[in-house]
Amino acid sequence: MIKKSFIGLVKPRIDYTVLTDLDPALIDVSKPSQVKLLLESPLEKVNGELKKGDLLKTGQLVSMAKDVFATSPVTGTVSGISGWAGDFGRSYTAITLDVAKDEEFDEQFSGTAKEISLESAIRYLSAVPGSPPLKNFKHPDVDIHTIIVNAMDEDISVTTNQYVVQSRLKALKSGIAAVGKFTGINSIVLVAPERLAAVASAAGIEVKVVGSQYPSAQPKMIIKNLFGQVVPAGKKPENLGYCFMSAEAVASIGNAISTGKIPTDKILTLIKKDGSTTLVSVKIGTPVAEVFKACDIEVNEKDRVVFGGPLTGSAIYSEDHPILPDTNAILVQDKDNIPLVSNYPCVNCGECIRICPARIQVNMLVRLLEAGHYEEAATSYDLHSCIECGLCSFVCVARIPIFQYIRLAKYELDRIKLAEAEYV
Amino acid sequence: MYSQKKLIVSHAPFIHDGSRVNTRNYHILLAALPALLMGLFQYGIPAVGVAALSVSSAILWELAINILRKSEKTIGDGNAAVIGLIFAMLLPATVPWWFVITGTFFAVVVGQQIFGGIGSSPFNPVVLGALILFVGWKDYFDFNVALVNYDFGFDAIYPLTALKSFGPSGIQGFTPGDLLMAKQTGGIGSTFGLGLIVGGIYLIIRGIIRWEISLSFLAGIFITALIFNIVAPDQYAGPMFHLLSGYTLIGAFFLAPEDSSSPVNFIPMLIFGFVGGFMTILIRNIGAYVDGVLFAILLINLLAPIFEKIRPKALGKVD
């Protein structure tokens, strides 16, 4: 992995991996025997629409809680419904499906596909590969005027969305048209690295070129550098009227509309133990263990498996974890290669200050966060300006889990806010 | 349903650039070696004794605090060793053993550990320890008295004392070349200008000390001394003499840029260093003491949090 250079005087530069292979190999893992659907709702809150033994067709809508939609990626019978614990106290409902031999497509979507309304797009297309945040267009507090289709992936070493732009340009183009049609938004811009931008622009898509230095493809950095606006601290791009969608999500929508079938295969970048990467196409809901089997990766006790990239992903605790619509990358680390954090205090070396793209006083911030003074951290030391790139922890000499402190602080503050709102 | 294999679950990021506190400190030790070895060569066995005792006692003081606090043993990180070594480099070669041990006590325990250990000291521990001794036992820090029994083959008067007593005419014997090549008396590791500069440049290139502080400190000394010199050349020495004598170079490369007591933003670092250099010359030229580096650094350490208020506006900050 990336190490500090001998000449420590120059600011470290970390680049996104830019896909240069014009035809990279794609390993296909689309025949699982069992899949798991995760619904973003705790088990206590789901209704009894589905029961053990029920049959689901491919593409059939599963709607077991208010505003939570998923579509079945396979044809199969429900063999279990259970709770599932996620990061930061989130809880899900997991529906396990035993895959049937013969695939049968649900017809409900295909009938409406050509003239789809925003409401049914939210119902049927929110869980397509790439996980488009379609609910934003219905949100009462936000008024989206521009959709930014991100072809650069959110983390280094990941090339999922770049691959999609390269190999599914037609679907991407029809997806952009479809999204424009059902949302009524005309300003849709693709943000891509230089070579892909040229390719997409030749195909008639409106493009802006994004730099290859991490974290220039983070949403807030894109808005600052390419659209000349700064998202105020604590606000989201949506508050300024920008909605981000991954290129894969738009291509999936394009595919769904033109074929009448909801796509079920997720593209992801697998980062192996030696740092090499492979692109994999895998059925949504497949246990991650199946991906490892297909790619000859041996995962042993005390290894680390991460959903997402090396700087911003989140580690998972079980090889049964299903591939989700937004799993763009899987990182596998050998137990001998895991850099651990320490309980050292900040030595005030200033590396984090030099690298922080949001110009936060990280050295002061981390002192407050360590002591649990989250509110002061937010008011005096710009906690909410953080764009969550993870670079401060990457360069920290004392190996303090700064990034985790920041995420924890934001989470705790949100919880306080929520509790206060409920009390009032 | 769940497989029995246990995975390590931790938080992002999952990679690290490999830097560590102890490698950082070991590099500081390495960078200090040229100047120290020259001092050991020049002052012989007494200097070896002082340096060895200083490093070992500093480490033992930290260990004692670790044991008292029942905390993790942190002496392996090289922090106490750095304090001990740089402290020894400031001392005359002939100080008694109890002087060294008392000094490292003030540096390690009072200067750093009672504030919470590494990273928490508001003052540079070495400077604080040395100044407490200097104020308490002034005579042991008088280089002319301490080194009276040596025969160096060059003018053995401490250059800054010569300047204070006789004015610029008293220092005509010291050429910049002599000062660079350790042909002056002083602390064990603070006379070999060339060695200190090489060590300092090494630390700057490796990114271990912040070049802004070192360079602005030297610039502060140079510019202030130059102004004094231009105004009254018969009273005040030229800037080159001030740059190469006393604790200037060890201060610029090993004392002022100490991590926890110095600012980290660009403009504050420049002000911090410049004020340090400026105060040094003020004390040397019109103050009571012969050398002002230690007092100046203590003062800028005190002001560092105020300088640090000048900071860039964070992304998306709402006023």
Pairing of β A26-29 and β A34-39: unpaired
Q: CA Rg, chain A, in Å? A: 22
Look at the alpha carbons of A223, A225, A230, A234 in this order and tell me if their dihedral is positive or negative. positive
Q: What is the pLDDT of residues A36-57, one digit of tens each?
A: 999 999 998 888 888 899 999 9
pLDDT averaged over every residue in chain A = 92
Mutate to test the interface with A, among B212, B315, B317, B318 (most CBs of A within 10 A): B315
Please state, in angstroms and rounded to a whole number, the distance separating the CA atoms of residues B32 and B35: 6
Residue boundaries of the structural domains of chain B = 22-140, 156-307
**Which residues does A167 contact at the CB level (< 8 Å), separation at least 6?**
none
Please state, in angstroms and rounded to a whole number, the distance separating the CA atoms of residues B130 and B83: 11
Contact A281, A30 (CB under 8 A): yes
Distance from CA of A211 to the nearest CA of B (A): 19
Give the pTM: 0.92
Question: Which residues does chain B have within 8 Å of residue A398's beta carbon, measured at their own beta carbons?
Answer: 21, 119
**Which residues does A116 contact at the CB level (< 8 Å), separation at least 6?**
A124, A125, A178, A182, A257
Q: What is the pLDDT of residues A353-395, one digit of tens each?
A: 999 999 999 999 999 999 999 999 999 999 999 999 999 999 9
List of domains in chain A: 30-106 (2.40.50), 143-259 (3.40.50.11540), 265-337 (3.10.20.90), 351-423 (no CATH)
Nearest chain B residue to A391 by CA distance is: B13
Residue B317 has its nearest CB partner, among A8, A338, A385, at A385
Q: Is B150 helix (H, G, I), strand (E, B) or coil?
A: coil
Distance from CA of B241 to the nearest CA of A (A): 29
Q: What is the pLDDT of residues A136-168, one digit of tens each?
A: 999 888 899 999 999 999 899 999 999 999 999
Asked if B7's CB is within 8 angstroms of A317's CB, the reply is yes
Q: What is the mean pLDDT of each run of 10 residues along chain B (319 residues)?
A: 76 91 95 96 95 97 95 92 97 95 97 92 96 93 87 85 88 88 91 96 94 97 96 93 94 96 95 97 93 96 95 84
Please state, in angstroms and rounded to a whole number, the distance separating the CA atoms of residues A405 and A391: 13
Q: CA Rg, chain B, in Å? A: 21
Nearest chain A residue to B265 by CA distance is: A353
Element (H, E) at B135: helix B125-136
Pairing of β A277-283 and β A265-271: antiparallel
How many pairs of residues across A and B have Cβ atoms under 8 Å apart? Answer: 187
Question: Which residues does chain A have within 8 Å of residue B8's beta carbon, measured at their own beta carbons?
Answer: 302-304, 315, 335, 338
Please state, in angstroms and rounded to a whole number, the distance separating the CA atoms of residues B145 and B149: 9
Name which residue leads in pLDDT, A4 or A152.
A152
Please state, in angstroms and rounded to a whole number, the distance separating the CA atoms of residues A378 and A365: 9
- How far lies A57's CA from each of A62, A76, A105, A262, A334, in Å? 10, 7, 6, 12, 39
Buried b (16+ CB within 10 A) or exposed e, B193-209: bbbbbbbbebbbebbbb
Residue B14 has its nearest CB partner, among A304, A318, A407, at A304
Cα-flanking dihedrals φ and ψ of residue A306, to 5°? -125, 130
Please state, in angstroms and rounded to a whole number, the distance separating the CA atoms of residues A297 and A285: 19
Please state, in angstroms and rounded to a whole number, the distance separating the CA atoms of residues A33 and A71: 18
CA dihedral A212, B311, B112, B34 (to 10 degrees): 60
Asked if A230's CB is within 8 angstroms of B11's CB, the reply is no
Asked if A1's CB is within 8 angstroms of B12's CB, the reply is no
Please state, in angstroms and rounded to a whole number, the distance separating the CA atoms of residues A33 and A35: 7
Contact A281, A27 (CB under 8 A): yes
Residue-level pLDDT at B273: 97
CA dihedral B43, B46, B49, B50 (to 10 degrees): -70
Q: B45-69 and B21-43 are packed helices; what angle lies between their axes, rounded to 10 degrees?
A: 150
Q: Is B3 helix (H, G, I), strand (E, B) or coil?
A: coil
Residue-level pLDDT at B1: 47
Contact B146, B43 (CB under 8 A): no
Asked if A385's CB is within 8 angstroms of B14's CB, the reply is no
Residue-level pLDDT at B246: 92
Contact A257, A114 (CB under 8 A): yes
Question: What is the mean pLDDT of the segment spanning A101-124?
Answer: 88
Contact B20, A397 (CB under 8 A): yes
Residue-level pLDDT at A278: 93
Please state, in angstroms and rounded to a whole number, the distance separating the CA atoms of residues B282 and B276: 10
Per-residue HEC secondary structure of chain A comes to CCCCCCCCCCCCCCECCCCCCCCCCEEEECCCCEEEEEECCCHHHCCCCCCCCCEECECCEEEEECCEEEECCCCEEEEEEEEEECHHHCEEEEEEEEECCCCCECCHHHHHHHHCCHHHHHHHHCCCCCCCCHHHHHCCCCCCCEEEEECCCCCCCCCHHHHHHHHCHHHHHHHHHHHHHHHCCCEEEEEECHHHHHHHHHCCCCEEECCCECCCCCHHHHHHHHHCCCCCCCCCHHHHCEEEEEHHHHHHHHHHHHHCCCCCEEEEEEECCCCCEEEEEEECCCEHHHHHHHCCCCCCCCCEEEECCCCCCEECCCCCCECCCCCCEEEEECHHHCCCCCCCCCCCCCHHHHHCCCCCCHHHHHHHHHCCCHHHHHHHCCHHHCCCCCHHHHHCCCCCCHHHHHHHHHHHHHHHHHHHHHHC
Q: CB neighbours (10 Å) of residue B233? A: 11
Quickly list DSSP for B258-304. -STTS--SHHHHHHHHHHHHHHHHHHHHHSSSS--HHHHHHHHHHHH
Q: What is the pLDDT of residues A165-201, one digit of tens each?
A: 999 999 999 999 999 999 999 999 999 999 999 999 9
Distance from CA of B120 to the nearest CA of A (A): 7
Q: CB neighbours (10 Å) of residue B37? A: 14
* CB of A312 less than 8 A from some CB of B: yes
Distance from CA of A174 to the nearest CA of B (A): 35
Residue-level pLDDT at B319: 64
Indicate the burial class of B95 (C-beta count within 10 angstroms; 0-12, 13-18, 19 or more).
buried
Asked if B9's CB is within 8 angstroms of A348's CB, the reply is no
Residue-level pLDDT at A48: 81
Q: What is the pLDDT of residues A294-331, one digit of tens each?
A: 999 999 999 999 999 999 999 999 999 999 999 999 99
Please state, in angstroms and rounded to a whole number, the distance separating the CA atoms of residues A3 and A159: 21
Question: Which residues does chain B have within 8 Å of residue A233's beta carbon, measured at their own beta carbons?
Answer: 314-318
